Amino acid sequence: MQKRKLGSSDLEVSALGLGCMGMSYGYGPAADRQEMISLIGSAVERGVTFFDTAEAYGPFTNEELVGEALATFRGQVVIATKFGFDIDAFPGLNSRPERIKQVAEASLNRLKVDAIDLFYQHRVDPNVPIEDVAGAVKELIQEGKVKHFGLSEAGAQTIRRAHAIQPVTAVQSEYSLWWRQPEEAVLPTLEELGIGFVPFSPLGKGFLTGKINEDTKFDSTDFRNIVPRFTPEARKANQALVDLLRRVAERKKATPAQIALAWLLARKAWIVPIPGTTKLSRLEENIGAVAIELTSEDLREIDSAASKITVQGARYPEDLAKLTGR
């Protein structure tokens, strides 16, 4: 497994991380705990050193799972977690400094670690100046309880303001061939400031794998049921993007998912995608993307073809969309 540094920081991680949310929450019923502990162990064995969780996933159960699964790999892995949601009034927000410190203590406990490797603000809280948030994390870093500060789904100006108080190591946002908005302002800002970028949902919440079509039925508890981009009509229209990936994949003797990930890895050397899965076969497929070399000609072809495809449907329902890009 290749390694990458997140921006100009000293935080080195595997070129591909593992998003753990779906093991506990979001995409239907929680998976079997022992199977997920085994899967996380398999990821470590295959060179994955970067794991992503949050107190909000479950809530709490995903951090507990990750903490237990990685207990025997202390010092070999990097665990990122997040603060900022009001768990009692989800999806309300709470990034008041005293709350950040409470979350840090609770997360340290659940993750069974002495310090949180990377602590993201999950969503920007409009009621708390970002300078106060960055200041609170700075204090946690000075106390040795946190090593690196991150932001999730923040806008470019917020990133700049936070970075001026406490250097931001990484920004996490959705980014893939079917959601490219970060290219407009966020990615140029990160490049300028030397901040790493961690795309979540790099496979479009599963859509870019080619395993979902207009007839696919999701579990009643699956978050995708309320996502406009996943209506049957949108899925039918958006197959054009999967068809593009499939054409390139056939030529490269790869899968659509591998091409989608390889495309992200080829964008910048400081981009580290974190695809999630609950299946060993998918984990291995995703890891295989790291070895796929897309030439500048391949990338031009993909960009040219993708520019002619208009992706249908918003990526979040309106109430959740308001929480992003602040």
pLDDT at 28: 94
pLDDT at 269: 97
pLDDT at 318: 94
Mean pLDDT per 10-residue run, the chain (326 residues)? 96 98 96 98 98 98 98 97 96 97 98 98 98 98 98 98 98 97 98 98 97 96 96 96 97 98 98 98 98 96 96 95 95
Assigned domain for 35 exists = yes
* CA 14/CA 78 separation, integer angstroms: 9
pLDDT at 283: 98
Assigned domain for 314 exists = no
Q: What is the DSSP string of 59-82?
A: TTHHHHHHHHHTGGGTTT-EEEEE
pLDDT at 159: 98
pLDDT at 314: 97
**Count of domains forming the chain:** 1
State the chain's maximal CA–CA distance in angstroms.
Answer: 54
Mapped onto helix, strand or coil, the DSSP state of residue 290 is helix
Is 57 one of the catalytic residues? yes
CATH assignment of the domain containing 29: 3.20.20.100
Label residue 325 left, alpha or beta by phi (over 0 means left) and psi (-120 to 50 means alpha): left
pLDDT at 125: 98
Assigned domain for 142 exists = yes
pLDDT at 96: 98
Assigned domain for 7 exists = yes
Hunting for tokens 């990930």 — which residue is that? 261
pLDDT at 235: 97
Instruction: With beta carbons less than 8 A apart as the criterion, state whether 24 and 61 touch.
Output: yes
Residue-wise pLDDT for 84-122, tens only, equals: 999 999 999 999 999 999 999 999 999 999 999 999 999
What tokens appear for 18 in the block?
């593992």
Q: Which domain holds residue 159?
A: 3-203+268-291
Identified catalytic residue from 25, 27, 57, 175: 57
Assigned domain for 307 exists = no
pLDDT at 238: 97
pLDDT at 115: 98
Assigned domain for 233 exists = no
pLDDT at 34: 98
Residue-wise pLDDT for 142-196, tens only, equals: 999 999 999 999 999 999 999 999 999 999 999 999 999 999 999 999 999 999 9
